[in-house]
Amino acid sequence: MVKKIRKTIESANINFLIGSGLSRPFLEVLNDVEIFLSDSQKTSAEITAKKKEYFNKVMVGNLDIINDTSNMNKDDVLTNYKNFYKILNNILLKRENSILTKQVNIFTTNVDIFSEKALEDTGIEFNDGFHGRFRPVFSLSNFKKSYFKKSLHYENTSEIPVFNILKLHGSLTWKYNKAANKIFLDCNLDCVKKVKADLSNADFDKSYKELIIVNPNKEKFEDTLVKQYYYDLLRIYSNELEKENCLLFVLGFSFADEHIRDLTARVADSNPTLKTYIFSHGTSTTIYDNLRDEAKNRNIEIIVPEVGKNYDLKTLNADIFEKIIAESEDVVDPAIGITAP
């Protein structure tokens, strides 16, 4: 399997679809939250209580990430993210294909900041859609920019890897300014701090609505701006997967979002050159089976861990992506019988 994936990577446009499973155990996965919040029989008090639980288990912990607060689970997850991006960066640098761009698209429904924090801490180039220094503003036009580096003493120019972080469900770092009608970077998570301060008073719902995120319910959107960006980002997701010789890795994602599930299935049918690898957290693949079986091009493959293992980010790094690097460094040339450099 590793050899097969490595061979595909050599000639493919690389994309990832990442879900909340990769941020466990520091941030929890609330599998029932969408069903609960979409239940018309629930009272407003029950809905508010569930939103508070969702906030406490998925969002408030991000304050520990930006403050570098010591927490074993947080430190382990952040280390896994750092290793993940360092490994991918290495894979791109070793890729022999000089025609393809050294960009990787990270599509994620996570609103947490693990990816941004990991990339900034490791010094790897990334693009989260913001531009500017003193008051960075978000725009979809800021994505898909290539980065090149020129030697100080020679005229050697080379493209360096860059990761596009496309947050399909919004982000805790997004802050809407109504007067400017723009989204600015909230690097200190002031909106999260405000919601935390209002957890126990009547202002909670008002503060919660200021978070620029897609709600985990059937209606999803508190305002039209979030809805607009959601569909614009889905359009980018679709366009990227429509490219020839495209590769999609699905990690920690359950396809609970029906729009993303249907779009992924539709693109798999329309683009026979798209190859999708879905890594199942455990050995049960029920949530993915229909998606694979309905793909007329048979270009969706489900990969399960060995019995007794789970595919969390640490295991994926060790069992899959690190081995891809090892494969690329240990390719035997059958013509001469020695390891190629």
Range of the domain at 210: 2-129+163-173+189-329
> DSSP 3-state assignment of 249?
strand
Residues in Cβ contact with 114 at an 8 Å cutoff, skipping those fewer than 6 apart: 22, 23, 65, 77, 78, 81
Are 127 and 143 within 8 A, CB to CB? yes
208 assigned to some structural domain: yes
340 assigned to some structural domain: no
81 assigned to some structural domain: yes
Distance of CA 253 to the CA centre of its chain: 9
Structure confidence by residue, pLDDT tens digits, 128-169: 999 998 999 999 988 877 777 766 666 677 788 999 999 999
Kindly tell me if the per-residue pLDDT of 186 is higher than 90: yes
Bridge partners (DSSP) listed for residue 76 = none
316 assigned to some structural domain: yes
Taking the C-alpha atoms of residue 49 and residue 53, their distance in angstroms, rounded to an integer, is 6
134 assigned to some structural domain: no
262 assigned to some structural domain: yes
Place of tokens 């957890």: 199
pLDDT of residue 257: 84
- The phi-psi region of residue 210 (left if phi > 0; otherwise alpha if psi is between -120 and 50; otherwise beta) is alpha
236 assigned to some structural domain: yes
Q: How many domains does the chain have?
A: 1
Full-model pTM: 0.91
Structure confidence by residue, pLDDT tens digits, 210-231: 999 987 766 666 666 788 888 9
248 assigned to some structural domain: yes
H helix or E strand, kind and range, residue 166: strand 162-167
